[in-house]
Amino acid sequence: MRAVCVIPARGGSKGVPGKNLARVGGRPLVVRAVQAAHGVVDEVVVSTDDPEIAAVARAAGARVVVRPDELSGDTATSESALLHALSQLDDQPDVTVFVQCTSPFIAPADLAEAIRRVADDEADVVFSALESHEFQWALSDGQVFGVGHSAAFRPRRQDRAPHYRETGAFYVMRTAGLLEHGHRFFGRIAVQPVPESHAVEVDTALELDLVRAVSRIVDRPEPLDVDALVTDFDGVHTDDRAQVTQDGHESVAVSREDGMGVALLKKAGVPVLILSTEVNPVVRARADKLGVPVLHGIADKAAVLEKWLHDAGWDPARVAYVGNDVNDLGCLALVGWPIAVPDAHPSVLAAARLVLSRPGGGGAVREVCELILDSKG
C-alpha cells in the first residue's frame, strides 16, 4: 500500500518564533521530521507558507506544497493542511501519515509499525502515545475528582490498567477515512506506544531548551561520514588560553595527537581547513606544521566558509565544522555536521549535532578525525 507523509510546517509560530527551523541536535526540527519519515513512506510532503522552510525541506529531500494564506493563520487546523496537501497530489495514497515537527524524537521503527498496522487492516487510525500509570485529577465546579480512579482507593501500579497520553508526534490514517470524515480520528483507533524519552513536544522556549539538552542523550550516534572537515582554531586546536610575554608575544599549547589525527585524515583523502578570526601568526604556523590550508584574521567566518564551500564544490550537508564560541554559530548553521567541543558556549552546544568528549587542545581534533575515519570503514 502506498503511504505518504505530510508534515505541516507553517512559518508563523507565535510561542517560539521560527520554531520549525529551530535546531535540535544540530538539525532544524523540520529536517528531523523529514528524516524520520524517509525510508518509511513512499513520499514525504512538507506543507508550508514559508520560503525558508520550503528551501530547507527540499534540501532534506521532501516535496513542498505551498500552503495558501487562508490555511496559514493561527486558527487553521492541522487537518486543513493535510487535506490541502493531499489535494495537490496526482495519486491519492492508501495511507496518510501526519508527522509534527514539534516532536523531535520520532523513531522510524515506531512509525513503520504504525503504518503496518493500518496497511494490514488492524486499525483505521494509529497514533503515537505514552503508556502511563499516573493518577490524574480533574477540576469541575470547584471540586477535584479522580480520573479513572477513586479518591478512596489507590491500587498499586501493577494492579491498574494503563492509560495513554497522546504525544502528538505522528498519526497514521487510512486516507479514505480521513477524506470522508475530515479529521484524524475515525473508525477503529489504536495507539502506538513510544518510549518516554520520545514523548516530548516543543511548544515553548523552555521546551526547546529541554529537548536540546535531552538530544545529547536520546539521539542515537550516527556515523560521521563527511567529505571535508573545517575547524576553528582557538578553543578547538587549543584550550582557548594564551601565554602573553611582557613584550606582547603570544604562545599557545596544542596537542601532538591532534597532529597525528589530521595526518591520518589527510592520508585518507579527507581535506582539512582551519578557519579563524585570530590574526596572530601562531594560527598559520600551526596550520603549516599540520600541512593544511588556513584562512585567519577573518571578520565574517560564515561568509568566507560559504564561499569556500561554493568554490570547492563541496556539498555543505557532507561537511563538518568544529567550533566553540558564538562567532562559530554562522558556520555551524551552514554545514550538515555542526560539532562542538564539550566546554563550548551554551549556544554552540545547542546548535551542535555532535558534542565531542575531549576538550579543545586536549584531543578534540584527534577525536573528530577518528570518528570520520571510522565512518570510512
Which pLDDT does position 19 carry in this prediction?
Answer: 93
CA 336 – CA 201 distance, rounded (Å): 24
CB atoms within 10 A of CB 143: 7
Tens of pLDDT, residues 162-176: 889 999 999 999 999
Question: Is domain 228-375 annotated with CATH 3.40.50.1000?
Answer: yes
DSSP label at residue 326: G
Whether the predicted pLDDT of 307 surpasses 80 = yes
Quick check: 170 and 201 in contact, CB under 8 A? no
What does the pLDDT average to over 136-162?
Answer: 83
Which pLDDT does position 266 carry in this prediction?
Answer: 96
Quick check: 54 and 7 in contact, CB under 8 A? no
CA 207 – CA 274 distance, rounded (Å): 35
Give the pLDDT band (50/70/90) at residue 30: very high
Whether the predicted pLDDT of 65 surpasses 90 = yes
Listed by start position, the domains of the chain span 3-133+162-218, 228-375
The helix/strand/coil state of 234 is: coil
CA 330 – CA 302 distance, rounded (Å): 5
Which pLDDT does position 245 carry in this prediction?
Answer: 85
Which pLDDT does position 37 carry in this prediction?
Answer: 97
Whether the predicted pLDDT of 304 surpasses 90 = yes
Q: CATH number of the domain at 3-133+162-218, please?
A: 3.90.550.10
Q: How far apart are the first and last CA of the chain?
A: 36
287 CB burial (10 A radius; 0-12, 13-18, 19+) = buried
Q: What percent of the chain has pLDDT over 90?
A: 79
What mean pLDDT value characterizes the chain?
93
The pTM assigned to this predicted structure is: 0.79
Nearest alpha-carbon partner for 204 in 51, 22, 82, 57: 22
What helix, strand, coil percent values describe the chain, rounded to 5?
A: 35, 25, 40
